[in-house]
Amino acid sequence: MTALDLDALKAEGVTVLLLDVDNTVSPHHSAEVIPGIRDWIASLGPLGFRACLVSNNWHDDIHERAAALGLPVVAKAGKPLPFGIRRAIRLLAVRKSECVMVGDQIFTDVLGGKLAGVRTVLVEPLTPSDMGHTMVLRRLEQRIMANRRPEA
Site residues, Mg ion (CB under 5 A): 20, 22-24, 104
Minimum distance from residue 148 beta carbon to Mg ion (Å): 18
Nearer to Mg ion, 15 or 57 (CB): 57
**Encoded amino acid at 7, one letter:** D
Minimum distance from residue 142 beta carbon to Mg ion (Å): 16
Nearer to Mg ion, 15 or 55 (CB): 55
Minimum distance from residue 46 beta carbon to Mg ion (Å): 26
H helix runs in 17-94, sequence order: 35-44, 61-69, 83-91
Q: Is the dihedral of CA 79, 83, 84, 85 positive or negative?
A: positive
Helix, strand, coil content of the chain in percent (nearest 5): 45, 15, 45
How do beta strands 99-103 and 16-19 pair? parallel
